[in-house]
Amino acid sequence: MKISAHVAVILIAASLCLTQATGQVVGQGLSAEAKSKDVAEARAKRNAQTFQNKASILTLLDRYGKQTGKVGERAMYDSAILSPDGKRVAGIKQDLDNESFDLFVMDVATGAATRLTTSARTEYVYSPVWSPDGNRLAYVSMRGGQERICARAATGQGAEEVLYNNPGANMDLSDWSLDGQFLTFSISDIKGGVLYVLKLEGGSDRKPVEIFHSDLRIFESRFSPDGRYLSYIVLDKADKAEIFVRSSDPTANAGPWQISDGTFSPGFWVGGGKELYYMARDRSIMAAEVSTSPSFSFKKPRLLFRQEVPVPDQLMYISADGERFLVLPPARGQQLQQVTIFDRKGQVVKKVGEPALYTQPAFSPGGDRLLVMKEDLKTGQQDLWVIDVNTTRATRITDDTRVKVTPLWSPDGKYIFYSALLDGDWPVYRKAADGAGKEELLFRYTPGAFVGLSDISSDGKFLVCGSGGVVLLVPLTVSDPAARKPVDYLRDEFDDETGRLSPDGRFIAYRSDEAKPERYEVYVRPFDAAKPADDKKWQVSKDGVVAMLHWRGDGKEIFFRGQELDSDDLVVMAAEVETTPTFRVAAPKVLFRLPGPVKDSLGAISHDGQQFVLAINVPADKTEHASSGQ
Amino acid sequence: MTSRTKLFLLVFAVLLSGQSWAHHNMTAVFDFNDRVTVTGTLTAIDWRNPHTYFTVEVKGAAGAIESWQIEGPSPSFFRIRDVGKPDFQDSVGKTVTVELSRARDKSRSGLIRTFTLSNGKIVSACPQNC
């Protein structure tokens, strides 16, 4: 949960909470500034948009991938698991307004929900597991800065029992043994992981037993029905996940055995421990025949079924009999993206290629090529591609499982620059825009720290990057990448991001929340790479902005995306500017609107400011019937 | 499958030009399973992104003064919550107590879990820093 604030509200939901009985606690609530009417209203609208874009209804499939029912209300589910008898679902729902997560039990037949926990603002519970008799649920709570494993009756009756106080952090509770005597959990961070088993016999001084540890991260351990083995996920340095099995006895020299060839889910023991099911990276449901007696053995996994839809459902849980699959369909239904070029009035100029899973389209400096991030429907892998606008011929730039972000064209159009997640770090690379050769490491930032690219100087001598609300300059003139050190260009108490240089290099536009919390505006400052920013600046926007900050090639116009909290539409704004003898800006105007939601990118605008390229959501052809491997 | 796992397994690169990002994975530098508590005089505050920093002078076992460098959440984190820079400024030159996740290199530095101000107020940076 500590990877990216962009991903989990938990990251930004740091609570300021009671830790000692005698102290006066501060920081539970919002500041006066954050509670002001306009800030609160904007937050409520953002939350409503987030809910619309991310909430879904839990759905049950049979073992052939056919939908058999829905469970409960539309919500933002963090996790959901079927009870042993299959009649109830325990689910963690996110409350955006309260910045919290809580546990509910839903009746599969009626949808009636029972609330089991009520978290204070910014606190949460997660990782529910059913007791084998279906009478209780154990889960991890984070309250008052203390991680605990707790349990209570599935009916919501009675008091909560604390099973284990974790002296550390990052527990991933994932199973309750069939004999009811053990829980299993893992603790992982960027330095590796440890797999534990906790014997429930005894009192609050229970001590977990370490099964094994690794310099790789470990998740989602699950007992075989006979309790002799544990399946678990190991995440390698390139963030590729695999399912392994090993003995649950730490003294036994048994295993590990690698079951999967790439997984997108935990392993689920099925049929009394005779099979392991999981979702492969291509979203196929796979089944591996296994045996746990006299010792562990397994056969090559076979295809059980694959949903023949562009965006397969997210697998949440598989019942122990292998007959029911609990999934979360895509929140906005089956959608692909059509790369589309628009003019300044928002009229379609051209549709490029066929719909696919595209994000972040960006014009090359010459406007004849597009850089896109494309997710392969077969492998689930996201890679950078360059598409010729006229011929639609696509050239692959990357081919790997790493997460790649903030791709940019070099000013001469010969290279693609990007950050890629590797072993918890975000090195910056470049690769030839024709796909030839190997990628070249340009820069490594602080270990574990995210760094995103926002611009490259026209002479290619330095990168403009952002990290943690600081605008950084990275000189590329030093030949050794390890010796390239970032310089803080703009660093203050506000979140300053997305530095974009004027074409003449004399000014820098950026976004900052200095005017209001949780809202960004565009500002421009004089720029000199040789020294940090001074106090001189001009505010360009006044009504809030999101993304898409761009200078027209002649430096006479700045484009940005206006904030539209009432509709989620894309609103492209333009402000005429002058940079000589000094900076002057006219009032921004709406250039055009498109029905949302539409994602955009820094490179969405052509050099001359006449064209805009966007990945527009379009309904995907949906095949009702899943394909079966049986 | 919980969000903790999903974060690692799901490709979350739908990230675009310019949304806010967390600065770094705290576990790269700090060991969340190695907690220490220090009591001393708060001598300096650096209230800038990407993280706030605090200097606390602590009397060591031999009586010598040891300087601890303590990292806290970003200023924008405090901006929307009802504790802020003035609360910390009021404690400068006074005694504070800080519970930390210690740096992995065992230097005198750490990440705030809880910060007890000189007036007894307790600021907790959990769950973000816990």
Q: Over 50: is that where the pLDDT of B41 sits?
A: yes
SS3 A474: strand
Closest by Cα among B74, B111, B114 to A25: B114
User: Hey, which bits of A314-460 come out as E strands?
Assistant: 314-318, 325-328, 335-342, 348-363, 369-375, 382-388, 394-396, 404-409, 415-420, 428-432, 440-443, 452-456
Identify the bridge partners of residue A199 per DSSP, sorted by sequence position: A182
Contacts with B50 from chain A: Cβ below 8 Å: 449, 467-470
Q: Average pLDDT in the A388-416 region?
A: 95
Antiparallel, parallel or unpaired: β A557-562 and A550-551: antiparallel
Q: What is the pLDDT of residue A401?
A: 86
Helix (H), strand (E) at residue A51: helix A37-54
User: Hey, which bits of A161-274 come out as E strands?
Assistant: 161-166, 171-176, 182-189, 192-199, 209-214, 217-223, 229-235, 241-247, 257-258, 268-270
Q: What is the pLDDT of residue A217?
A: 92
Tell me if A1 and B77 make a contact (CB, 8 A cut-off).
no
Pick the residue from chain A with its C-alpha nearest to B75: A493
Q: What is the pLDDT of residue B2?
A: 54
10 Å CB burial of residue A313 (0-12, 13-18, 19+) is buried
Q: Which B residues in the span 89-118 are in contact with A, Cβ-Cβ below 8 Å?
A: 99, 104, 113-114, 116
Q: What is the pLDDT of residue A86?
A: 96
| Tokens 């600021």 sit on residue | B123
Which of A56 and A564 is assigned the larger pLDDT?
A56
Percent of chain A with pLDDT over 70: 94
Q: Tell whether A313 lies on the interface with B, counting CB pairs under 8 A.
A: no
**Positive or negative, the Cα torsion across A616, A617, A622, A626?**
positive
Structure token digits, residue A351? 């549709």
- Which of A12-26, A164-178, A502-516 is the least confident region? A12-26
Rounded Cα distance between A364 and A628, Å, is 43
ipTM confidence: 0.83
Q: Average pLDDT in the A153-160 region?
A: 97
Q: Average pLDDT in the A492-510 region?
A: 96
Which of A133 and A18 is assigned the larger pLDDT?
A133
Helix (H), strand (E) at residue A148: strand A146-153
Q: What is the pLDDT of residue B77?
A: 83
Structure token digits, residue A138? 């154990």
**Contacts with A469 (C-beta within 8 Å, 6 or more apart), sequence order:** A494, A495, A496, A497, B20, B23, B49, B50, B74, B76
Q: Average pLDDT in the A463-477 region?
A: 95
Phi, psi of A517 (to 5 degrees): -70, 145
Q: What is the pLDDT of residue A483?
A: 94
Give the pLDDT band (50/70/90) at residue A291.
very high
Contacts with B22 from chain A: Cβ below 8 Å: 2-6, 11-12, 450, 468
Q: Cβ(A408)–Cβ(A445) under 8 Å? A: no
10 Å CB burial of residue B45 (0-12, 13-18, 19+) is middle
Give the pLDDT band (50/70/90) at residue A20.
very low
Q: Over 80: is that where the pLDDT of B126 sits?
A: no
Q: Over 90: is that where the pLDDT of A167 sits?
A: no
- Which of A15-29, A74-88, A488-502, A516-530 is the least confident region? A15-29
Q: What is the pLDDT of residue A547?
A: 81
Which of A542 and A10 is assigned the larger pLDDT?
A542
Q: Over 90: is that where the pLDDT of B23 sits?
A: no
Q: What is the pLDDT of residue A311?
A: 84
Q: What is the pLDDT of residue A28?
A: 55
Tell me if A265 and B1 make a contact (CB, 8 A cut-off).
yes
Q: What is the pLDDT of residue A255?
A: 87
Q: What integer best gives the mean pLDDT of chain A?
A: 90
Q: Average pLDDT in the A609-618 region?
A: 96
Contacts with B116 from chain A: Cβ below 8 Å: 20, 23
Rounded Cα distance between A269 and A322, Å, is 8
How many helices (H) and strands (E) in chain A? 3, 50
Q: Over 70: is that where the pLDDT of A18 sits?
A: no
Q: Average pLDDT in the A88-105 region?
A: 95
**Contacts with A48 (C-beta within 8 Å, 6 or more apart), sequence order:** none
Q: What is the pLDDT of residue A623?
A: 42
Rounded Cα distance between A469 and B47, Å, is 13
In tens, the pLDDT along A341-357 reads: 999 999 999 999 999 99
Rounded Cα distance between A177 and A166, Å, is 20
Q: Cβ(A440)–Cβ(A432) under 8 Å? A: no
In order, the DSSP letters of A597-626 are --B--TT-B-TTSS-EEEEEEEEPP--SSP
Q: What is the pLDDT of residue A27?
A: 46
Amino acid at A50: T
Q: Over 60: is that where the pLDDT of A8 sits?
A: no
Q: Over 90: is that where the pLDDT of A38 sits?
A: no
Rounded Cα distance between A462 and A476, Å, is 5
Tell me if B27 and A189 make a contact (CB, 8 A cut-off).
yes
Q: What is the pLDDT of residue B76?
A: 86
Q: Average pLDDT in the A77-98 region?
A: 96
Q: Average pLDDT in the A91-98 region?
A: 94
Closest by Cα among A466, A470, A472 to A495: A470
Contacts with B4 from chain A: Cβ below 8 Å: 1, 126-127, 170, 172, 219
Q: What is the pLDDT of residue A146?
A: 84
Q: Over 90: is that where the pLDDT of A127 sits?
A: yes
Q: Over 70: is that where the pLDDT of A2 sits?
A: no
Closest by Cα among A46, A106, A100, A99 to A74: A106
In tens, the pLDDT along A307-353 reads: 888 888 999 999 999 999 999 999 989 999 999 999 999 999 999 99
Contacts with B122 from chain A: Cβ below 8 Å: 18-20, 23-26
Contacts with A597 from chain B: Cβ below 8 Å: none
Q: Tell whether B46 lies on the interface with A, counting CB pairs under 8 A.
A: no
Rounded Cα distance between A455 and A499, Å, is 7
Tell me if B127 and A78 make a contact (CB, 8 A cut-off).
no
**A68 Rama class: left (phi>0) / alpha (psi -120 to 50) / beta:** alpha
